[in-house]
Structure 1
Amino acid sequence: MIRLIVTRLVLSAVLVVIASLAIFVLMSFVPGDPARTILGANATPDLVARLREQLGLDQPLPVQYGEWLAGVLHGDLGQSVLSGDPVAQLIAVRLPVTLSLLLLSTLAISVIGTVVGLGSAVRGGPLGRLLDTVSLVGLALPSYWVAIVLVALFAVAIRVFPATGYQPFVDGPVPWFLSLVLPVAALSLGGITIVAKQMRDSALDVLGRDYIRVLRASGIRERSIVFKHVLRNAALPSLTVLGITVVGALTGAVFVENVFVLPGLGSLVTQATTSHDLPVVLGVGVVFTLVVIVVNLVVDVLYGVLNPKVRVR
């Protein structure tokens, strides 16, 4: 297990470099000029050229990327081209918002999806058919559309939760939680249905195996069979789906944060991409890549906990 973790960490460093290089190359094709954005549309070409030289934007792209990467290796993510603020500071201010959204969404997806899927497999009948229908609907509905509907229902019509904004946890856990209920619901709906469907199919497969029949014939209580044997074995494929779903939630978080006006990394990278603020886009891209790495690492560790064969390897 330790060798597995060390290998994953070594590969993670390579992945961060590849991801940042891909972002840098893709951003070079995005139309826009930060110098023109700062100076305005009426600035003269000579003034724009001088500002580009001051910002280092006139250098070849490999040189720009090399200087940025050298700064990252020394713990410096650079400065925002537009505001001049350190990118690390901008990320540190907004990171708690995105992490709160992702952590609560992960908790909702894993707990609700597991409970609904396992209950559907054990009970069967109409609940299973309902889950199949809801799963298709959950996959078809994009998170930003769900967010708009939730705002119209629970923030405008009923006025139970705030429509926009974010309350920091230090201001109180209740306002913090209420400000994230609708964003988490919008981000989690699709993931819950996917995990529930996978858990139901896996649990049904386990319930049909011979050793489950032997356990029942031996007089073992049904609750013990479900939670000690069925859940443990059905959790392995569901864990893979959960990891993929959480990684996909990063993309959904960008849209959800903009709909609910949350000051997180999603809204930051949207603004930076529009204004062609490359250091900010690269910094957020590195953070998102690290989140993906952490999620995959946690999934690998949980695999080792649930499956002894992985620990042996």
Structure 2
Amino acid sequence: MTSSNKPVVVGIDGSDSAINAARWAGGVADAFGAPLHIVYALPTVGAHLTQTAAAMTAAMMSYQRDSADLYLKAAADAVRSDRPGLTVTTASVDEPADAALVAASRTAQLVVLGGKSVTPAAALLLGSVSLAVATRAACPVVAFRGDPVTPGDGRVVVGVDDSPAAAAALAAAFELADSFGAPITAVRSLSLTPSPEAGVTIPFLIDWEGLQAAELVSLAAAVDAENTKHPSVEAQCFVELGSPGKALLQHASDAQLIVVGTRGRGAVVGTLLGSTSLNMLHHSPVPVLICRSPE
């Protein structure tokens, strides 16, 4: 992921949060030794609009086109003020933001999405740029959350299970932590509901302490394998009882970034992105990095 030939791309929408996202993305690009490319595109709108809604949308898009240069200049000026030596380019694209950012992802090492948070309504209506880009991008995607303006030394929290997507997330987490000079918290969840494969239907007959210890050994082995590639990164491992989303959010208070994997397959957005990734987009107080499963 940390190839200096490929830019870090950040999409903005003119909001204060998007300016902060651009500044944060500038910090990531600087840590990677990569250029930053700031993209402004038209808002993504749904289909089947009424005549009145269509007219209002057309007027809004005309205003957005007229304001694009101002938004881009504000974001670029903020980044250059933070990092005068960073190469920063901008582009205004006359197409929906999700399509523009998915296209940009094909030549990027990372896409950062600045703007409004994902709401449950947006998830149901498939109307969120974050959801659309996260499920279709060719590189890892960060959904910006909170108000950090630069990566720091806070913990990088990563969710780990036995899937290829989680392995990609763990590798990306170590790369980022190494670039930031930050520690890692690797979290594995242990469901309180026994799986059918376990052959046990009465939870109190399960040796939860023994199972938790076995899961910790498995997690530590996966973390150690990545840690050998990044020996300067300090890593901690935790196995938490409960759902993956709840397990990760338990460690969000001292995190600067949460990293999750997604399989990227299915018929609807909730399936494409996966419940854990979607949960993080809804509830995380810090930026969320979503890594697709290797093809």
TM beyond 0.5: no
Name which structure has the greater RCO, CA cutoff 8 Å, separation 6+: 1
Give the shorter-chain TM-score range: under 0.3
Structure whose CA Rg is larger: 1
Which has a greater percent of strand? 2
Answer 1 or 2: which has greater helix percent: 1
TM-score of the superposed pair, with normalisation by structure 1: 0.26
